[in-house]
Amino acid sequence: MKNNMILTYSLWILCLWGGACSQTYAADGPAAVAQPQNAVWDGNRAMGYIAKQLSFGSRALNTPGHQKTIEFIVKELAGTSATIDRQEWAYQGSGGDVYTLTNIIARFDPANPRRMIIGTHYDSIGRAYLDPQTPDALMPGANNSASGVALLLETARMLSSSPQHPLLGIDLVFFDGEEGPYSLGAGDSHWVALGSPYFADHIHELYPKKAPEQGIIFDMVCYQNLKLYPERFSMASAGAEVKKFWDIGQVIAPSVFLRKSTLTPIADDQNALAAIGVPSFLVIGFDYAPWFNTTKDTIDKCSAASLEAVGRTLVHYIFL
C-alpha cells in the first residue's frame, strides 16, 4: 500500500474527471444484507492465520519466510474446494538482483464464466524503516500483509463450506511483490508493485474467454481501531461497487465503515486491475500510526472483531 505521491498526475486527474471523488460518500439507505446458509466467517480463526505467518519471520522477497508463506497458503487452500493455479516468474532489479515471484490463484466454481477477483498481497516489508529506534530491524507485518492473507484464507474456508455459490465465480489472488523489488513499499521512492502488474499483463492467459467483471483488494484490515474510508481512485474505477460494499459494511459494522473518502488516492494492487479495464477497488485501513512499518506492527494491534467486520461484509457482498 502506498501513498498518493506514487500516483501519477494523470491518475489524479482521472479521479477528478470521474466525478466520484467527492469528500463525502453518500448512502441511499441501509443495504439489504444477504445471509449465506451454514457459512460463518470466523475472526478468531483468521487471527490464527496471522499468528502462523508471523512465525515465519520476514516474508520479504528472497527470504526463507517468503517461501514458507507460499507453502502455507497453498497448503491451506488445498484443504478447500478451490482449484489452485500459480504464476511464477523472475524479476531482475535495477541493481542486478534477481527475484523469484509467485502469484497464487484459488478458483471457486471454476466453470462459471463470470468471475470476480478478490486479492491481497503476502510479501512483507523487509525492514522497519519507519521505526524511530531500530529502522533496520524486522517489520513483523501483522497488519501490513498478514491480515490480508488471513482474510482471504478464512474466506476460502467459508466458500468451501457453503452449499451455495455466489452469482460470480470467485478467484482469490495472493499477489507477490506488492512492496516492490526492494521490499520497502512507500519507503522506496521508486516503488513499483510487481505481482499485480504481471497478473494484469497476462490476464488473457488466465481468462481467455471473458475478463473478470470486477476486483477487490484488501490490505491492512486487522487493526483493533479499524476505520475504513472509500479510497479515491477506487471510487473513480468502481464507484457502484464501492457504494454497494460500504452500504453493506454500514449495516454490519457502522463504526468501521465510514462515508468520508480518503484524503488522497492510495496506490495498491487495484491500480493494475483498473488499468486493464477491470473495475476494482481497495479496502484498506491506512490510519495505522504510529505502528505502520515499524517493529510494533504485531498481532496485539489486531482484533478478531475487526477481521470479522471486513470478512462478513465481504461474504454478504459476494452473495448479494
pLDDT in tens, 143-186: 999 999 999 999 999 999 999 999 999 999 999 999 999 999 98
In the chain, the percentage of residues whose pLDDT exceeds 70 is 88
Q: What DSSP character marks residue 256?
A: T
Task: Give the domain extent around 103.
Answer: 4-319
Instruction: Count how many domains the chain has.
Output: 1
Task: Determine whether 303 is exposed, middle or buried from the number of CB atoms within 10 Å of its CB (0-12, 13-18, 19+).
Answer: middle
Number of H helices, E strands in the chain: 10, 6
pLDDT band at 9 (very low <50, low <70, confident <90, very high): very low
User: What is the CATH classification number for the domain harbouring 282?
Assistant: 3.40.630.10
pLDDT in tens, 101-114: 999 999 999 999 99
pLDDT band at 12 (very low <50, low <70, confident <90, very high): very low
Which amino acid appears at position 266 of this protein? I
Q: What's residue 1's pLDDT?
A: 52
Q: What's residue 94's pLDDT?
A: 79
Q: What's residue 5's pLDDT?
A: 32
The larger pLDDT score, comparing residue 8 to residue 278, is at: 278
Residue 3 scores a pLDDT above 80: no
Strands (E), 266-311: 280-284
pLDDT in tens, 113-127: 999 999 999 999 999
Q: What is the mean pLDDT of the chain?
A: 90
Which amino acid appears at position 211 of this protein? A
Q: 180 — phi, psi (to 5°)?
A: 90, 170
